[in-house]
């Protein structure tokens, strides 16, 4: 079983919902990331989403765009992101790490070559937001060959046929985008998410995580009642931005936020 | 005659049903946009074969845009160069001063049939923004145009024109603050406002069906050229020349000639300070394949797959990607892509203005500069058609500033 499967199985047996924090690798500077990942795990993160900086993050709002720009100002490449995962794995053998980003850095590296390097570094899953299943056959085959899960998005605009199509190619878990928009906006409507998830579960056995628009303990708790995982990004990245000049304070500050979210989620279970 | 439904002169075989031109093109977007793109594609497929839609499009092209645009023999300029005879396809004479309106008129008709009440667009030089604001004003719908902050500075006249037309111009401050960032921002708007918004992409790039759809709306340029040159010369031209940023004016001219192997096809990219300096916007000449803005194509990118900043004197060519059909035409060998430097474009601008009394856009001046070189090596019996894609009024301030003249 993959680390992602093991983790979701453990959580299920404990009747708990996963908390998945997202940060951009190398934001605001490269040496912050690995200590930050460990601090978030200690504070209650179950899986980690590590953003791969990209120059043109079309699906992201201003907060994550700015994070990409901060990381890219230090020339953080996909190779360095894998180095960070490798370093993280020296101390943490169990927490799944999912890379999240855009296709082009992987495309330029080469799917097979990247997959080999990523598996060796200890990556468990990858989500490339601008790669829909229609274009993903070669990509998913390369990832599958090294047991890396290909995570795919579903959205409020996805109808039944798209739910089926995405479920066919996805592994690990499914990432449901809670509203029509970019990361960091706040249009979360829990009841519409809930009815969409009910529909989605008819087509998949995979765990379903919900992201976009989860801003605080209250919204995290609401989503935790209906999802298998709560994904939180822009709130954490905003804190990174505020502390860009005081990197020493980043791990403890974000850990406090993660543990607050953890407590709110656990109250619901 | 402007019969937009007559597409028989072109190969029309590509793209495939998922938008692929060979290995290029496709649809690389986040899941939220897949259903809206399916919806757009269904409407486009339906109305391109709908006689009522085509009749309305033909009427708009004739009475609102002013088509057909003339094919003009630039006799003095040809004589001065002393080689092939050069014809200019006068897209600069269209309403709003460039080829961009051919596409926005078509997409606006689609938007209305799809019940969309809000139009958004990205723009570089501002020509597509003006053309979008124009059709939105005529339809009486809201229009928001995204434009890079740097382009807003260098294209102040077009920004003001858009505002006069009632559009909101949003300054994009992220990234390199040029066209690619405007496109990112327009995509973000679209994904947020899908229900009521139609995104009019201005070039033959983006996710399927945009590259094919924009090409089909622009192919009127090549179809008219074909009829006009047959009427004037009784034969097809020896060469076609057009500038390529995203590549919509070029594909519009080229597409109806793709199966005519005796017609050489040249696309002219922005060479900036020179391709060898790295400061340019010539992905077909000096880039590599990758995925950006919804399609696989040639890009200006570093070895880590990050998009690099481009440089060109002309805002409309200052883009790190290019339409996927051009990528395919390059790899298949059917078209040749070359680069022209800023300084060469400037020189061609002056040359055409002084010999013909036609002031071309700086984008177009790149095509003219290459046509000069090409014509000089050809003889008088040979014919070149250059797409005079836009007029230069918008660039007067830029040119004056470059030449140290205070207006």
CB contact under 8 A, A56 and B180: yes
- Residue A74's alpha-carbon distances to A215, A264, B44, in angstroms, are 28, 35, 44
Q: What is the pLDDT of residue B2?
A: 39
Closest in B18, B191, B290 to A180, CB measured: B191
CB contact under 8 A, B291 and A105: no
Residues B272/B281, Cβ–Cβ less than 8 Å: yes
From B200's Cα to the closest Cα of chain A, the distance in A is 17
Contact residues, chain B, for A58 at CB < 8 Å? 29-30, 184, 187-188, 293
Please confirm, yes or no, whether A83 is among the known catalytic residues.
no
Tokens of B2: 């402007």
From A14's Cα to the closest Cα of chain B, the distance in A is 32
pLDDT averages per 10-residue partition of chain B, 407 residues: 38 86 98 97 97 98 98 98 98 97 98 98 94 97 96 89 98 90 95 96 97 98 98 98 98 98 98 97 98 98 96 92 98 98 98 98 98 98 98 92 90
Closest in B31, B292, B293 to A177, CB measured: B31
Length of chain B: 407
Tally C-beta pairs within 8 A across A and B.
Answer: 122
- Residue A137's alpha-carbon distances to A111, A140, A166, B86, B166, in angstroms, are 11, 5, 12, 48, 45
Q: What is the pLDDT of residue A13?
A: 97
CB contact under 8 A, B28 and A103: yes
Q: What is the pLDDT of residue A269?
A: 62
Q: Tell me the ipTM for this assembly.
A: 0.96
Contact residues, chain A, for B175 at CB < 8 Å? 55-56, 69
Which class for B27: exposed (0-12), middle (13-18), buried (19 or more C-beta within 10 A)? Answer: buried
Q: What is the pLDDT of residue B345?
A: 98
Q: What is the pLDDT of residue A33?
A: 98
B273 vs A181, residue with greater confidence? B273
> Is pLDDT above 50 for A30?
yes
Please confirm, yes or no, whether B330 is among the known catalytic residues.
no
Closest in A55, A61, A104 to B175, CB measured: A55
CB contact under 8 A, B305 and A78: yes
Tell me: the pLDDT tens digits for B39-89?
A: 999 999 999 999 999 999 999 999 999 999 999 999 999 999 999 999 999
Output the 3-class SS for B33-102.
HHHHHHHHHHHHHHHHCCHHHHHHHHHHHHHHHCCCCCEEECHHHHHHHCCCEEEEEEHHHCHHHECHHH
pLDDT category at A43 given cuts 50, 70, 90 is very high
From B308's Cα to the closest Cα of chain A, the distance in A is 8
CB contact under 8 A, A58 and B291: no
Which stretches of B245-305 are assigned E, i.e. beta strand? Answer: 264-274, 279-281, 288-292, 294-299
Residues A179/A191, Cβ–Cβ less than 8 Å: no
Candidates A62, A77, A103, A130, partner chain B, best to mutate (most B CBs within 10 A): A130
Which neighbouring-strand residues pair with B304?
A: none
For residues A27 and A69, what is the distance between their CA atoms, to the nearest angstrom?
Answer: 9
CB contact under 8 A, B307 and A55: yes
CB contact under 8 A, A180 and B32: yes
For residues A211 and A261, what is the distance between their CA atoms, to the nearest angstrom?
Answer: 14
For residues B108 and B115, what is the distance between their CA atoms, to the nearest angstrom?
Answer: 11
Q: What is the pLDDT of residue B4?
A: 39
Tokens 């060109």 label which residue?
Answer: B312
Highest mean pLDDT of the ranges A25-29, A178-182, B1-5: A25-29
Q: CA-nearest residue of chain B to A186?
A: B192
Closest in A56, A109, A131 to B307, CB measured: A56
For residues B123 and B108, what is the distance between their CA atoms, to the nearest angstrom?
Answer: 16
pLDDT category at A268 given cuts 50, 70, 90 is confident
Residue among A5, A31, A56, A60 flagged as catalytic: A60
Residues of B with CB under 8 A from a CB of A: 18, 26-36, 174-175, 180-181, 184, 187-188, 191-195, 288, 290-294, 296, 299, 301, 303-308
Record the pTM: 0.96
Q: What is the pLDDT of residue B10?
A: 40
Please confirm, yes or no, whether B100 is among the known catalytic residues.
yes
DSSP A122-157: T--EEEETT--GGG-HHHHHHHHHTT-EE-EEE-TT
Q: With left for phi above 0 and alpha for psi between -120 and 50, is residue A153 left, alpha or beta?
A: beta
For residues B352 and B345, what is the distance between their CA atoms, to the nearest angstrom?
Answer: 11
From B46's Cα to the closest Cα of chain A, the distance in A is 21
From A266's Cα to the closest Cα of chain B, the distance in A is 30
Tokens 């071309």 label which residue?
Answer: B360
pLDDT category at A120 given cuts 50, 70, 90 is very high
Q: Is the peptide bond before B68 cis (omega within 30 degrees of 0)?
A: yes
Tell me: the pLDDT tens digits for A152-176?
A: 999 999 999 999 999 999 999 999 9
Q: What is the pLDDT of residue B374?
A: 98
């Amino acid at each position: 079983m993959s680390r992602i499967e093991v983790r979701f199985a453990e959580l299920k047996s404990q009747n708990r919902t996963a908390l998945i924090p997202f940060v951009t690798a190398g934001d605001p500077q490269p040496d912050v990331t690995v200590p930050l990942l460990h601090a978030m795990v200690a504070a209650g993160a179950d899986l980690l989403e590590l953003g791969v900086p990209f120059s043109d993050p079309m699906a992201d709002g201003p907060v994550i765009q700015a994070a990409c720009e901060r990381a890219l100002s230090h020339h953080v490449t996909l190779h360095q992101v894998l180095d960070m995962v490798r370093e993280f794995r020296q101390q943490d053998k169990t927490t799944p790490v999912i890379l999240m980003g855009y296709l082009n850095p992987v495309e330029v590296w080469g799917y097979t070559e990247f997959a080999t390097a990523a598996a060796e570094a200890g990556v468990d899953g990858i989500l490339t937001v601008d790669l829909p299943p229609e274009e993903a056959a070669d990509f998913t085959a390369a990832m599958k060959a090294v047991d890396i899960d290909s995570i795919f998005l579903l959205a409020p605009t996805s109808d039944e046929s798209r739910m089926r199509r995405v479920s066919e190619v996805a592994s690990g878990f499914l990432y449901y985008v809670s509203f029509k928009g970019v990361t960091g906006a706040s249009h979360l409507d829990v009841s519409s998410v809930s009815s969409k998830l009910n529909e989605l579960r008819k087509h998949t056995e995979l765990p379903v995580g919900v992201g976009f628009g989860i801003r605080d303990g209250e919204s995290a708790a609401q989503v935790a009642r209906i999802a298998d995982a709560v994904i939180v990004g822009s709130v954490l990245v905003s804190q990174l931005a505020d502390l860009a000049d005081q990197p020493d304070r980043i791990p403890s500050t974000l850990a406090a936020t993660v543990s607050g979210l953890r407590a709110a989620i656990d109250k619901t279970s | 005659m402007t019969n937009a439904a007559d597409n028989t002169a072109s190969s029309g075989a590509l793209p495939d049903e998922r938008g692929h031109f060979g290995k290029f093109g496709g649809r690389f977007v986040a899941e939220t946009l897949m259903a809206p793109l399916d919806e757009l594609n269904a409407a486009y497929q339906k109305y391109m074969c709908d006689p009522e839609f085509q009749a309305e499009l033909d009427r708009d092209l004739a009475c609102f845009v002013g088509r057909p645009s003339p094919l003009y023999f630039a006799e003095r300029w040809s004589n001065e160069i002393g080689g092939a005879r050069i014809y200019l396809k006068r897209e600069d004479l269209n309403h709003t001063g460039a080829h961009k309106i051919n596409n926005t008129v078509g997409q606006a008709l689609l938007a209305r049939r799809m019940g969309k009440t809000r139009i958004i667009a990205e723009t570089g030089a501002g020509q597509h923004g003006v053309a979008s604001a124009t059709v939105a004003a005529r339809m009486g719908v809201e229009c928001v145009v995204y434009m890079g902050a740097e382009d807003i500075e260098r294209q102040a006249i077009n920004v003001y024109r858009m505002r006069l037309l009632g559009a909101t111009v949003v300054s994009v401050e992220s990234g390199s603050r040029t066209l690619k960032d405007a496109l990112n921002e327009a995509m973000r708007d679209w994904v947020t406002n899908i229900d009521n918004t139609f995104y009019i992409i201005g070039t033959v790039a983006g996710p399927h069906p945009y590259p094919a759809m924009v090409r089909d709306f622009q192919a009127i340029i090549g179809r008219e050229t074909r009829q006009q040159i047959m009427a004037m010369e009784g034969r097809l031209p020896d060469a076609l020349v057009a500038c390529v940023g995203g590549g919509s004016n070029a594909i519009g001219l080229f597409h109806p000639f793709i199966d005519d192997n005796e017609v050489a096809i040249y696309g002219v990219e922005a060479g900036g300070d020179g391709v060898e300096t790295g400061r340019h916007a010539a992905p077909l000449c000096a880039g590599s394949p990758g995925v950006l803005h919804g399609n696989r194509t040639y890009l200006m990118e570093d070895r880590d797959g990050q998009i690099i900043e481009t440089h060109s004197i002309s805002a409309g060519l200052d883009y790190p990607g290019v339409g996927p059909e051009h990528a395919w035409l390059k790899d298949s060998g059917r078209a040749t892509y070359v680069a022209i430097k800023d300084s060469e474009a400037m020189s061609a601008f002056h040359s055409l203005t002084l010999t013909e009394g036609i002031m071309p856009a700086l984008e177009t001046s790149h095509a003219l500069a290459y046509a000069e070189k090409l014509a000089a090596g050809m003889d008088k019996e040979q014919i070149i058609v250059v797409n005079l894609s836009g007029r230069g009024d918008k660039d007067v301030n830029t040119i004056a500033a470059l030449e140290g003249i205070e207006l």
